[in-house]
A and B are shown apart, each in its own frame.
Chain A
Amino acid sequence: MMSGDVFSIPNPSATAFRQELEPNPNPKPNPNAKKKRNLPGTPDPDAEVMALSPKTLMATNRFLCEICNKGFQRDQNLQLHRRGHNLPWKLKQRANKDQIKKKVYICPEKTCVHHDPARALGDLTGIKKHFSRKHGEKKWKCEKCSKKYAVQSDWKAHSKTCGTREYKCDCGTLFSRKDSFITHRAFCDALVEETSRITNVGAANNLSFRNEINGNNLMNNLPNLSHGFTNSVHLPTAFQSGFDSGDSFIGEHQAQRPRLSLWLDTQSNSSHLNSMDQNSNLFLPDMNAFCVQTSSMGNYNNLNLLPPQALKVEPVMMNINKGNTISMTDSLASLYQSSKSNSPPHGPMSATALLQKASQMGSTKSNSTTFFNNTVGVMNSTSPSNSSSTNRSELHQVFGNTQPENPATTNANANANDAMMNFSSSTSTSAMHSLTRDFLGVGGDGAGGGSFYAHELAKFASMSSAMGLSQFDH
């Protein structure tokens, strides 16, 4: 290792640091879940804090070959190189993962937010990039727009998109040049309407917002013109981090307000789902934060999407989710909405995960119809007996083999009817509980619901109407 430039703070002090640290704001609900990324600057309290000097941080080739003096960034690379010299080499194995202590790094710059161990960053490359970006010299310059970058990868990434992005004003005009876009926007009459929602806020709020966005250069460029962009990839990150910086932030920061209000207007208007399609990336994270913030879910009741019959599902579902302030319908509905607005549907998600997400009001990328098929199908399968598999296969027969033909329909009708009858007869909570269990159980099998198709859902819905789902309303 290097000379005394690097020092890691030994355990007793780590304990001391631990006391200072806030409790980890991201508790892992499921220990089997894959490694989650913490929010930048919210380190694991158990981690060891590393304070590297600027010199060490910026050093690129720390490992030197003794023969030819070639420098390498990693010890492994040096070892492989030593083989070429016929020198003895040894590739160190990574020590047992559980025993290795997680390291977090603080920024050596004293005035920096990340100098505080409570705001340390969890990744060495990350802290290096941060240090360059914030406190380093900007050595890389874009040829086209002469924008400067400290980190080469940032510069490369920018150069790829520079000049290719288009800017769209609210009035509908498209621009290929940023400067003409900005000038136009300032003079455009479309500007007038927005300002009615903006309140005067000092620059301080600006600061907190911008500091939170680590290395998201695009946001830094145009804090408020971003909704004009047709290339919307970068915004979700910004939204996330922007919202993450604090609940109090929303509604205070005037720069954020216009965009937020825009999205609110979009959401509350169900006929605008088409535009939501385009802005699907943007919609989701916003919904996330929006739902967390407010309790007014009235917006999501404008559902022209769901067949009316399907809504009858709601009394059942609501009972499952006790203690949830947000009704299942709403969450279902919003899930349906959001997943509809996602153009590429992913494979069917497990019901467990979906349910969990629905209760947390998270966003989902599942195919909504699949979800519905899952839940509805599952419900039916559980009632007669607790051998879900049998029922599932029954339903598989019903749904999987069916052509949209009449004989099958009547068949399905009969089966479904039975299932429904059975279900409605067991109104006790135990049934509900078993429903829950099995619901989850079936879900736990993975994509147990199978791949039901949209037309089957529609069929089921129409069947339900035929039978009259009043059975559910006891």
Chain B
Amino acid sequence: MSDIVERTLTALPGLFLQGQPGGGPAAAKAPFSSRLGGLVRGVTALTSKHEEEKLIQQELSSLKATVSAPTTTLKTMKECMVRLIYCEMLGYDASFGYIHAIKLAQQGNLLEKRVGYLAVSLFLHESHELLLLLVNTVVKDLQSTNLVEVCMALTIVSQIFPREMIPAVLPLIEDKLQHSKEIIRRKAVLALYKFHLIAPNQVQHIHVKFRKALCDRDVGVMAASLHIYLRMIKENSSGYKDLTGSFVTILKQVVGGKLPVDFNYHNVPAPWLQIQLLRILGLLGKDDQRTSELMYDVLDESLRRAELSHNVTYAILFECVHTIYSVYPKSELLEKAAKCIGKFVLSPKINLKYLGLKALTYVVQRDPTLALQHQMTIIECLDHPDPIIKRETLELLYRITNSQNVTVIVQKMLEYLHQSKEEYIIVNLVGKIAELAEKYAPDNAWFIQTMNAVFSVGGDVMHPDISSNFLRLLAEGFDDETEDRQLRVYAVQSYLSLLDVENAFYPQRFLQVMSWVLGEYSYLLDNEKPEEVINRLFKLLMSDSISSETKAWLIAAVTKLTPQAQTSSTVERLIQEFTVSLDTCVRQHTFELKHLHENVEVMKNLLPVNKSCEDLVVDASLSFLDGYVAERLSQGAAPYKPHHQRQEEKLSQEKVLNFEPYGLSFSSSGFTGRQSPAGISLGSDISGNSAETGLKETNSLKLEGVKKLWGKEGYLPKKESKAGEEMEASPAPLENAVSENMDQAGTRRDQAPVLAQSKEEKEKQLLASSLFVGLGSESQINLLGKADNVSHKFRRKSKVKEAKSGEAASARDLTCSSLHSPSHVAHEENDYLTALQDRGSAEAEEFPLGSELLDPESVSELPVVGKLSDCALSAPSLFADSDMEVFHPPSSAAASASAAAPVTAEIALASSFLEETTEDVRSGRVEVCSDETVTMSSYKLWKDDCLLMVWSVATKSGSELKSANLDIFPAENFKTSEQPGCCLPAAEAGSTKTFQYRLQVERPFTEETLSGSVSYQRVDTHAVQLEFSVNLSLLDFIRPLKISTEDFGKLWLSFANDVKQNIKMSEPQAALPSALKTLQEKVRLHVVDVRGNEGLLACRLLPSTPSLLHCRVHADGLALWFRSSCPALPDCLSYQCQKAIEGS
């Protein structure tokens, strides 16, 4: 084609100089046009890219000179702009002209202004800083009496406008909604639409005006307002149900041809309008029978009226079908719609066929039989030469897959997969295949083969969850033990044979999967000796194409296999080879292997066979180092400062601004779950028994939170897969240590510090989980809510005592610390030093409280503590609640502990980075009611995900209860749920029975009373009921929200509900720090940032409704400005904050 242009150009050089066809005012612009013409012609005439570049650069430099010359007239400037636009379009940088484009829009007359605005809209983007300079011009033009100027201003506003400057023009644009000219009204509506898109809360107050626009007598204005409505209804359909009638009426009128003729398009009345309306109706009628009934008629009419004459009627039909299937179903309409789909699918026109398939894909979810009707067409489409059609057909098939057809469909998908090159398609398709394979696999061999194909094609581009899921599936197995075994055996066999293929290349991730499986399950093979597997792995290790991450996986696999192997010459070679590796991570792993290899006994303990699902128990505090730390400190070593603190100090010394969001990013970035092995520092946290899991973690497998979907019968409803897993006691060393400790643990003196410590631990967890919100929220709630944290707690306790009783770090600890990279060891040790210090002070502070709390209970608890040591041998880590008040029967704790382990590890890791743990998480004990036999007291535990109310019923001496029950009366604003397994059945004389209830807010409130009753029966069959009530405040449900200033800004703009409040203060200037402190302490707001006389704070209402506060000091007080996504929250919060500040 460029040839043709070229020829035309050379043949008719004067063409564009003289006669510009159509409305162009050629004569006046001739000299300038010719310059542009010259440029265009020049560019077209050139053959090579290089020449073009030269020419354009030349042009640009001459333009640069012209535009910056002060003598340049605006008219010349306008011409220059046009040429600049052209140059930009060709892909050259013309940024020097941006400022001049703005100037031109500012100063020029109409024509120049128009070009100026055009140039601005093409050059700049929404957040470009120069755009601010345009605001004044826009404001001026909006106030102009010249319609064209107003139009231009509105046009530019609807295209690009800086969000923060919206308030400057908003009133002007609102006025324009009443303008007498419809074109102005229309553009004003669209400008508001744009504002709604970028800052919805700023236009919230004008929703009434949108309604007016919807009723505008001009069709154009009405149509424009539909954009806004479509958007708003998409966000919240329930708020606009009352408009359904209006939309239906409008559509009726449109369909009935009541609109002016010039809105017709190929004799179809206003098709765009129709489609817009149909989409709105579809959204409104979704799952809503009553609303849907209103629209059946008009939908029917639309279907009928749309005579198949032109493409555009197909467009309407398509939308109509879509709407019919979206709204509450009506059989007649569905039938007609199905017929319509038939027309699409059977159409010879390829575009329509495509849409037919698309419609089918949508529809089969409701009615799979429709696909049957078009079987043959679908089959044809599968072999269609157009890949897009094929792709859509596969999408359709994906939706109708079941356990019978899965092999065929996956086969087809794989075929397509092998042909496609584009990464996006591959990633997408691979994900789908893996999903189908997991859901519907007919047998093991097929599953493994399919997954092999997925891994080898998808390889390193696919979603990492796929491989993690797969491994999890293998590791956890399903109900049938032999079935599990077969699957694993098959996997191992197939990988071994794959590895035997010469010169085959596999993606890194596939190799990682292979190495994990081989490491775990090669022992299942009878005919294959571990040495041979090791040899294969070693061969892989030596090849050049292996990334260091994969090497780490491979070495981990070898490490697992080594204890099973009889002879280990290869292992020795490997050690030789890689202890000098330049890659720290690989070298680290090799050293681990080396040390383990020297002590086979430890190794066998450390790496038991087939224990990948076992718990990973972690001593987060590194408490076994306590002794060492104390020693060093007493020798005068400097206390450790954590990394970020050091950095901050360094920065403050350097007097440089700290751009890091405080603390937050540092600790969260390290633990997002999928890093290279070197990135994760589990190391010394692994306490002995399941280092395998530790290795797995180290190798960046993210397994938690993944649902188990695959089963023999296809999709398995999510069930407690964990419960069935075997729970085995930890290996000997740990056990001994624990039992030893337990023997010493019988006395009360030891208990008090432990209590304080577990509290500290809890705070850490609280913070940790607030950091990890959204990372693995599911399992985390689980962790915090159930007795799961118990194991963690207890482990800590035992370790602390270990340190206390002066036991040196055992051989186990040595092996543990050798398990992770040296740099991290150092780092973490340091980290923990501070953590320990902190804890030391916390202990000191809380000691009195702890002992006080314990006093009334100690008598009743001692027997239970005694029992503890008995249990220690069977399940050493699994009982004792954090508060030492409730001891769980080992059996219930054991069942739940397995779920917690991996997460515990993560959280524990995170907690090591947290320093600010001064926040109190628990209220004092209050007696709520009592009578002659029992005393009932309660306290609140401010957990991170809920408020936990703990009631304990203490029986007074001399009386025995047969049973005691607690009833909590339902409350309006929150829901309560009992914590399972939290109470002891025994209620002997003088004992305590504890009830725990989780509370979640449903609606914000300020004060509320929670009441309930306790009933008990005495041995002399005398039933008594006692009523009690507890006051709850909103503050019980407020938790700090740790976000960065940047996130704060983003959230701030996205929240719609705000409340402002002024608090009078005598000395406002000095008040800010203290006010912030008050808010932080009393209301639990997190101080995000303080800038001059302004402070930013954030919190969340449980479970996760964020709320932001901006406070600013002014002449006579403090201005508080709340925003939140929840409408009622700002009000309540404002009340609380005011109370807190005034009370202080």
Is B one of A's binding partners?
no
The interface of chain A, by Cβ under 8 A from chain B, is none
The interface of chain B, by Cβ under 8 A from chain A, is none
